[in-house]
A and B are shown apart, each in its own frame.
Chain A
Amino acid sequence: MIRLALARLLSAFSLAVGVSLLLFLLFDSGLLGDPALREAGKHADADAIGRARERLGQFTRYQPGAVRLELRGPAARFTLESDGERLLLRDVRGAELGWVGLEDRRVGQLAELLPLPPPWALGAEAADPELPASGLAAALRGGRAVLDSRGPLALGWAEASPAWRHFLRQTSALLRFDFGRTRDDRPVAQELWLRGRRSLALALPAFLLTTALALATALLCAARGGWFDRLLAWLSVGAMSVSSLVWVMLLQRWLGGGLAWFPVHGWEPPYAAYLALPVLIWIVVGFGPELRFYRAAAIEESGRPYLRTARAKGLGRGAALRRHLLPNLLLPLLTQVVVSLPFLMLGSLLLERFFGIPGLGDWTVRAVLDNDQQVIRATTFLFALLYLAAQWLTDLAYALADPRVRRAV
């Protein structure tokens, strides 16, 4: 048992590191966008973006206008690009004139390093000529600077934070459950706790009611069969054929708008009033698939010989269902319930959005759209851990519910 627990812990640790690595690669690739651009604002120039990178920790230090270059000679334009370590010089038509290695060079040497064809020459003026020239490439990485004879060019200088150090720092923070702060400077952990509770306030009662209702109806279907079973099957398929978005909009407009039985939107005491309609919609949307699942399991079990034997012994239909069929439905029930638990934490994006419940679902989606890396990192990590915990719980519950599994373990 101890060995099992240790193995589980080890797998949790490796999962955490794996998630952290995936997130790091995702953000580092820039797939979700450059947070510095938004941070810097719509009026931002290259310096404002460099300063934003410094605040975000991408640069450990940034110095605007570290060197000022002036193109001397006939009217012309050259462009400089950077791979983070070297500079690439192009002519006005975009043809490469050569890469310039900056290792072991100083900012003050830049004018001599750039291979401008004659008759052009560069005038350079550096605020601190002794700075390592590699910082110019670091500051320009992914961008482009234009050397134009019609005006001077100021290049910034940066000390980039090494990727491995960034990764280690992030992983270590995640393992310590230090989730940092959101883009608008709120503690992520506190927001997770607040919003997680609101999401659960919607999801937990909705999920339990849906499960209980679907299970009870499935048992009835199995017990009665005939037209009742066919009608329920038909109704559930009908409900499932309608998109959940349509259900949300329809019921919100009808029950909240037309009949005005429920508030349409909001989150203030008494919270139950604002939760009632979303819970009802969750049940309407979730009932069909749940019923189909439990009904299939119940009908399959109800044809088993042990149930016929129990009825033959004189047990009533209700008692046979309760004492014999229900315990045998426990395994599929546990599978369905436990695996759903992590998803409950994230709540329902649609319902939270339409009804203004400030939970985790919409927050997470918003974080992806806004490229709020700390929030995405924290919710992904937490979700992975919850999923792992749910799997443990399932294994444990299987062992408790089924003696055959217990003996095998």
Chain B
Amino acid sequence: MSAAARRLVLLAVLPLAAASASCQREGAAAPSFASFALAEELADFDPLEAWSTSHQVLQRQVYEGLVEYRYHGRTDEFVGLLAERWEVSEDGLEWRFRLRPDLSFYDPHEPPLWPGRRRPVVARDVVDSFLRLADPRLGAQGWFALEGLLEGLDEFRERAAKGAEEAEAALAAARDGAGLPGLRAPDEATVVLRLRRPAPDLLMRLASPYCVVTPREAFAHPDRGLRDHPVGSGPYSLAEWLPRSRAVFRRVPGWRTVEDEHGPLPHIDELRFQAVLEGSTRALLFEQGQIDRLPPVQDSFARMVDGDRPSAELRARGVRLAVTETPDLSMLVLNLDDPVIGDLPGDDAGNQRRRLLRRAIALSFPYERWHRDIRERTWGSPATRYLPPSVAESAGLPESAWRRHDPELARRLLAEAGWPGGDGLPELQLELSGTDQGTADLRDMVVEGLKQIGVRCRATANSPAEYSAKTRGGRAQLFFWSWALDWPDAANLLEVFYSGNAGGGINRANLRSPAFDALFEEFRGLGPGPRRMELAREMVLVLDQELPVVPVDHRRGFLLLQPWLKNVEVNPFDLFPCKYFVVESRG
């Protein structure tokens, strides 16, 4: 080897040696920290945009709402967070929340908003935060959490949409004096919410990541805003922030005294989050003990999970596995606006025939093959009912009569509808998103299933953009769609079939059933009880009669936890409440 070549090799090796040394220095672990990897880029801190997992996970550490899900409790149990207690009027329309006396916002940024970095949280902050959520100029995705709920708030939104001057006037009127009839702060510690209709799911809405409380000084600050400078009343504050990549939170000094069975909250001093986009890298970090929890994805799943427990190697290290049921519904949608399979006003005889056709379509689908090929018998559990098991009413509902593979019955129904063996029936149209293997399998399942009963079907592969435009715009006949619940209330799923949401909204099947609407309107105003259950059953019967969708399955998730991460409760509606987590001696 020549001298020049030797020099080159040396140049290549030197930085590696230096890197190795610094890597070892990096390995020195600090006590009381937890480290997490998210599979998506880290989102920012504006609660108006709290739609992604990443938004919700990060913001949960800093911001607080009036209430939160009870830790270790059922998903429909709530405890006060900012609120110390609350009272509800007899008619269920007025909710009076009393704030805790020891609340304060903490600002870790320079220069701080207040001397000493703190100021108390007062009832007006709740009013300001909810008005911000409703302000149409800001386009909050979480507006649905309060839409149509509080007296005067929708009117405020409509007025504020009329231009900048009107918006400022509406805001001033809502903040000053008596405020809106449905959103008031009569004193510093009391918030009064007056509802337009009874809403038993109010606490679920208030516990959602959209209804958190932030100080006006922070979100209206001309140079800062909340995006990169979160200021909240939560147990942690942002200490380091590399947008989209890395966030470190530290315990807020002198945070209020709250205790659980493990001692004062929060139990961990520092939380480290990083975006790790590749599943194989996340798995490697978990195996090295550098991250504390891991939802294993397909490339690492077979290696790390053995049935319903961790692999033998991980078990030997004390790693635990939690199986989580995703509160959602994957469904085959049958567009009722479609003239071939839909429900046409004024054509009762034709509608009866098309209803039979929809049932035949449902009976032709090979659900077991879907479970085997698409979910690999792992990633989903069959949905025999319209509601996921995590919703209280689910267990008491009848199973769908048409969600089974029965080609023989499908053929009989088709003949009864006047299309024996599919004769005279136009070719059906299935819309698909993408062209990957899973989509191709799905196409084969539907097309072959329908062919078995004599129905021709043509599948069209669409770009995600085209697919979205077609399915939203009512131009797709048959397609697959999933709906994830925002909170564990049956109404949050059943509203997908409400006619007010048809024609471009979330009612993609365009069911317009006055019978269903009447039941739903009563249902959403009722708390748990026999009448609510009865209404749910009746709604499901309407759905099974009209068949706007066929329930296919609910997705499942798996979560591996390091032995040192304790007291972790998996609640799909409350992601990463890290103040409750405990870290014992790290491996």
Contact = CB atoms under 8 A, between A and B. Distances in A.
A79 B5 CA distance: 75
A48 to B, nearest CB: 8
Nearest to A32: B465
B169 interface: no
B31 interface: no
Contact of B473 (A94, A143, A371): A143
B345 A149 contact: yes
A30 B37 CA distance: 34
Interface stretch (B69-77, B271-279, B564-572): B271-279
A354 interface: yes
Nearest to A259: B20
What band does the interface of chain B fall in when counting residues whose beta carbon is under 8 Å from A? 35 or more
Nearest to B17: A276
Nearest to A264: B284
Contacts of A45: 501, 504-506
B345 A75 contact: yes
A213 B12 contact: yes
Contacts of B514: 150
A148 B22 contact: no
Given A45-B504, A46-B505, A77 B285 contact: no
Interface string B527-567: 00000000000000000000000000000000000000000
B8 A33 contact: no
A403 to B, nearest CB: 26
Given A31-B463, A146-B503, A148-B512, A186 B337 contact: no
A146 B499 CA distance: 12
A146 B502 contact: yes
Contact of A253 (B1, B284, B469): B284
Contact of B5 (A43, A76, A220, A276): A220
Nearest to B344: A92
A142 B5 contact: no
Contacts of B275: 356
A256 to B, nearest CB: 7
A37 B19 contact: no
Contacts of A362: 277
A16 interface: no
A33 B512 contact: no
Interface stretch (A130-138, A157-165, A172-180, A265-273): A265-273
Given A45-B501, A150-B512, A92 B347 contact: yes
Interface stretch (B82-90, B241-249, B368-376): B241-249
Contacts of B246: 266-268
A343 to B, nearest CB: 21
Contact of A216 (B4, B44, B243, B501): B4
A220 B20 CA distance: 30
A359 B515 CA distance: 55
B505 A33 contact: no
Contact of B505 (A31, A37, A44, A185): A44
Contacts of A272: 15, 18-19, 22
A241 B281 CA distance: 23
Contacts of B473: 142-144
Contacts of A48: 143
A325 to B, nearest CB: 13
Nearest to A52: B139
B288 A257 contact: yes
Contacts of A145: 503-504
Interface in B474-517: 474-475, 499-506, 510, 512, 514
A277 interface: yes
Between A63, A74, A267, the greatest number of chain B beta carbons within 10 A of the residue's beta carbon is seen for: A267
B472 interface: yes
A151 B344 CA distance: 14
Contacts of B284: 252-253, 256-257, 264-265
B451 interface: no
Nearest to A217: B5
Contact of B280 (A249, A267, A273, A280): A249
B345 A92 contact: yes
A144 B285 contact: no
Interface in B1-30: 1-2, 4-5, 8-9, 11-12, 15-16, 18-20, 22-23, 26
Interface in A203-251: 205, 209, 212-213, 216-217, 220, 249
A398 interface: no
Contact of B227 (A184, A267, A270, A273): A184
A313 B496 CA distance: 89
B12 A209 contact: yes
A144 B474 contact: yes
B51 interface: yes
A275 B20 CA distance: 11
A42 interface: yes
Given A142-B473, A213-B12, A353 B243 contact: no
Contacts of B114: none
Contacts of B22: 270, 272-273
B7 to A, nearest CB: 9
B205 to A, nearest CB: 12
Contacts of A15: none
A280 B9 CA distance: 12
Contact of B463 (A33, A42, A44, A280): A33
A366 B15 contact: no
A280 to B, nearest CB: 6
A264 B288 contact: yes
Nearest to B501: A45
A262 interface: yes
Nearest to B227: A185
A291 interface: no
A25 to B, nearest CB: 15
A45 B498 CA distance: 13
A269 B259 CA distance: 36
13 contacts: A77-B345, A92-B347, A143-B472, A150-B345, A184-B49, A209-B11, A216-B8, A262-B16, A262-B19, A264-B281, A273-B23, A273-B26, A277-B19
Given A45-B501, A151-B499, A257-B284, 15 more contacts: A46-B505, A64-B161, A75-B345, A143-B472, A143-B473, A146-B502, A146-B503, A148-B345, A150-B499, A184-B49, A249-B280, A262-B16, A265-B276, A267-B245, A358-B244
Interface of A: 30-34, 37, 39-46, 48-49, 51-52, 55, 63-64, 74-77, 79, 92-94, 142-146, 148-151, 153, 184-186, 205, 209, 212-213, 216-217, 220, 249, 252-253, 256-257, 260-268, 270, 272-277, 279-280, 283, 318, 353-356, 358, 362, 366, 371
Interface of B: 1-2, 4-5, 8-9, 11-12, 15-16, 18-20, 22-23, 26, 37, 41, 43-44, 49, 51, 136, 139, 141-144, 161, 227, 242-246, 274-278, 280-281, 284-285, 287-288, 290, 337, 339, 344-347, 463-465, 468-469, 472-475, 499-506, 510, 512, 514
